[in-house]
Amino acid sequence: LPRAALRAEPESPVFTGEAVTLKCYIESDSKYWTYQWYKGNNSTLVYQSQTNTFTISSAADQDQYWCRGVRDDKPTSSHLSIPITLTVKAERPKPELTSSHKGAALIGNPVVLYCKLDQSAGWKFYWSKHTQNPKNEIKTETPSYTIRSVSVSDRGQYRCRAGRGDPVYYTHYSDAVWIGVTGTTAPVTLMVFPRRSQHFYYEAVILSCEGQGDPTGWRVRRYTDRERVSDCPSHRRSNTESTCSLSSPYPSDTGVYWCESESGGSSNPVNITVHYGSNVILESPVHPVPEGDPLTLRCLYHTKPSNLAAEFYKDGSLLQTQTTGEMTIRTVSKSDEDVSDSGASFSVLSLLSSLMAVSPYLLVSIILGVKCYRAR
């Protein structure tokens, strides 16, 4: 006889009032089966249909279920499936909401919220701010919600809940988590060596928390294109967490980096981009440049030729051609500002614009479309 297999969606445990769909699969080439479902130790027939699904609209009791197929042709039935036990919990679950950031987040830094639910799979996650209003919820497929570049408007009280099935069965809301936002910088600056924002693949990069007083208690953190906040990997730290050594950086190390204290204080973030397969990058400052100051941009080759000329572009338009490979802006102004995403998947534009709101400096970013060539 053909074998039958029974599956439950969602899998146990489920919760009182939640809809559960049982699906019966028969190992046979024939499609003309009538499906039967049985319940309890006495194998009572509870449902029969031409389709292989049976929906329990509102789970209530813990019990065992079987299924099998029957038909007019031989063989006239399949084996009974192995029984599954549907475990039903009476108490509606409540997720735990946590934040990647302790204390107030500095404007421009990323913040990630995590909705932890230790239950079976199949959940989607719903996020609310200030009020528990389903109309204003944001839905995600994963248990995390990322604010890529936090601003003052993101300050507030957040909650999460999870839901699954059709109709959707919702958990309780989590307890609230307050996200504070500040424009006050910490007495620590993240220094980058070499002192530029773009770097070659496999070129060593060192990031260090430096500033007033002892940097002990500060650590280097980052937000990469994997859309998660993390510490500098342990195998890349120096003697302390305040220094991160990327001895052989990969493009996956591209991201936003900053220093963070145990109490939640933060430095201004810096953008680091690692280029793979490119022999040329633009040397530009990591930190904001004061308006009115001079600024020199250089076109760097991985292996510098003897005679290097460079064309500098902005928004696709040629600005200058320099035989020295560098261009100087004598007095930086806001009109010199431009943004390059440098291959990063998160929005550097929103990060820079947020920082502009609180910084007394003009952020001069990487000029677009830099092209370098060997002079003839």
Angle, vertex CA 334, rays to CA 333 and CA 340, nearest 5: 115
Asked if the peptide bond before residue 187 counts as cis, ω within 30 degrees of 0, the response is no
Tens of pLDDT, residue by residue over 345-360, are 223 323 332 322 233 2
Instruction: With H, G, I as helix, E, B as strand and everything else as coil, classify residue 362.
Output: strand
Tens of pLDDT, residue by residue over 130-161, are 888 888 899 999 999 999 888 888 989 999 99
316 pLDDT band (50/70/90 cuts)?
confident
Q: Distance between CA atoms of 87 and 59, rounded to whole angstroms?
A: 9
pTM of the shown model: 0.59
Q: Are 285 and 195 in contact (CB under 8 A)?
A: yes
- The confidence score (pLDDT) of residue 303 equals 74
**Residue whose token pair is 């709101």:** 357
Instruction: Give the contacts of 152 (CB within 8 A, at least 6 positions apart).
Output: 107, 181, 183, 357
**pLDDT above 50: residue 371:** no
- The confidence score (pLDDT) of residue 101 equals 81
Tens of pLDDT, residue by residue over 197-231, are 999 988 899 999 887 655 567 889 888 877 678 88
Q: Which amino acid is at 192?
A: V
Tens of pLDDT, residue by residue over 49-106, are 999 999 998 898 888 999 999 998 888 899 999 999 999 998 899 999 999 887 778 8
Q: Are 170 and 161 in contact (CB under 8 A)?
A: yes
- The confidence score (pLDDT) of residue 344 equals 25
